[in-house]
């Protein structure tokens, strides 16, 4: 049955299919300590279902196995072509976040194309049907359920815990989505992979905000992915300059990993970059009203932060990288009826005017 399951997963486009025993996650105690220390920030939902996250039997009574699946989303390298306005920078080619580059903004690679939840959930449904026909009961998740998914992925040998807390696989690097199926079927577990990070600390050095406070220790409150996606209110002013030109997520710790040199480009076309990733400017985004935002980001993971969150991020990036040419658009945004956008636009206007008055001052 396991051999047939692996073949089914491969036919659906998964790069990996591994099995973990359905036991308490190895880092359950560390997860609870992390919550108690407040390092989850405003992600209260993590604490609300902490019991379920640390005991899979509360999620699916009688579960015996966890099917761990990985889907590659790496799009390969892209060099600037004639006529390009800008595109998300590949940090792996330059670990300095503020070095000279052609890109006016960065969007995390996983969000370049369609929303992975929609795509992977449909594939999980097909595997669920297949397992049910063989007598199993299942629960399926794509980072939407109460599971410490990287713990189970590491148990199953889908990678090892990098010092950034990201999972790393020797052939996929750090560029893959995880999904899990809890099942009552008793499948033979796979062996974990050894930790191959060695003495490397490039991911820690690359973090722009110092969110990786020590190997395997992340303070979400300083993480740019948290600040630009999970945080719903104002971004702390002392952290805004450190965001640089990042407007949705951050790839720096993942991109710094030397194991990425083995990554192969994904074959799933749904993850290919949309037009706005490579050809829009930050000013273009400021012109979006609610309807325009919904149309542009339809079926994109970016839609989850809504116009108010996205334009908040755009304003911060313009405050860090913009010029006098951006002031008219920002001044209009400073009058936006959404207070969150107006506040960050006013901050950006002040930042640009200060730079214009003192051109020799640092940009960030």
Active site residues: 143
How far apart are alpha carbons 213 and 195 in whole angstroms?
19
What is the rounded (10 degree) CA torsion for 122, 123, 129, 132? -120
In terms of Cβ atoms closer than 10 Å to its own Cβ (0-12, 13-18, 19+), residue 345 is buried
In terms of Cβ atoms closer than 10 Å to its own Cβ (0-12, 13-18, 19+), residue 337 is exposed
Contacts 24+ apart (CB under 8 A), 142-146: 142/116, 142/117, 142/177, 142/178, 142/179, 143/117, 143/177, 143/178, 143/179, 144/117, 145/59, 145/180, 146/49, 146/52, 146/53, 146/58, 146/59
- Which residues, at least 6 apart from 351, have a Cβ–Cβ distance to it below 8 Å? 319, 320, 322
| E strand or H helix that includes residue 48 | helix 44-48
Q: Which residues pair with 51 in a beta bridge?
A: none
- 3-state class of 188 per DSSP? coil
Contacts 24+ apart (CB under 8 A), 93-96: 95/202, 95/205, 95/206, 95/252, 95/256
How far apart are alpha carbons 16 and 210 in whole angstroms?
32
How far apart are alpha carbons 351 and 244 in whole angstroms?
13
Looking at the chain, how many residues does it have? Answer: 364
């Amino acid at each position: 049955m396991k051999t047939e399951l692996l073949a089914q997963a491969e036919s659906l486009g998964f790069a990996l299919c591994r099995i973990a025993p359905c036991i308490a996650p190895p880092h359950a105690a560390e997860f609870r300590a992390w919550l108690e220390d407040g390092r989850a920030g405003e992600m209260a939902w993590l604490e609300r279902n902490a019991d379920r996250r640390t005991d899979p039997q509360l999620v699916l009574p009688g579960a015996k196995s966890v099917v761990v699946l990985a889907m590659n989303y790496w799009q390969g390298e892209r060099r600037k072509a004639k006529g390009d306005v800008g595109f998300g920078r590949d940090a792996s080619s330059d670990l300095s976040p503020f070095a000279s580059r052609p890109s006016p903004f960065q969007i995390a690679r996983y969000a370049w194309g369609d929303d992975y939840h929609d795509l992977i959930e449909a594939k999980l449904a097909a595997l669920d049907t297949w397992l049910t026909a063989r007598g199993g009961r299942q629960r399926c998740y794509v980072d939407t359920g109460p599971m410490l998914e990287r713990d189970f992925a590491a148990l199953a040998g889908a990678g090892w815990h990098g010092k950034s807390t990201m999972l790393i696989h020797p052939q996929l690097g750090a560029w893959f989505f995880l999904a899990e199926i809890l099942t009552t079927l008793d499948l033979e577990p796979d062996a974990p992979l050894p930790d191959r990070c060695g003495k490397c600390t490039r991911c820690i050095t690359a973090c722009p905000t110092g969110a990786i406070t020590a190997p395997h220790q992340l303070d979400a409150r300083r993480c740019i992915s948290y600040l630009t996606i999970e945080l719903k209110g104002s971004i702390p002013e002392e952290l805004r300059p450190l965001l640089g030109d990042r407007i949705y997520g951050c790839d720096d710790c993942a991109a710094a990993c030397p194991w990425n040199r083995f990554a192969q480009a994904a074959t799933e076309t749904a993850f290919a970059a949309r037009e706005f990733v490579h050809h829009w400017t930050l000013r273009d985004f400021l012109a979006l009203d609610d309807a325009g935002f919904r149309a542009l980001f339809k079926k994109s993971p970016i839609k989850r932060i809504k116009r108010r969150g996205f334009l908040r991020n755009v304003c911060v990036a313009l405050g860090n990288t913009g010029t006098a040419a951006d002031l008219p658009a920002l001044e209009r945004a400073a009058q936006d009826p959404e207070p969150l956008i107006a506040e960050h636009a006013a901050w950006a206007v002040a930042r640009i005017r200060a730079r214009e008055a003192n051109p020799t001052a640092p940009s960030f």
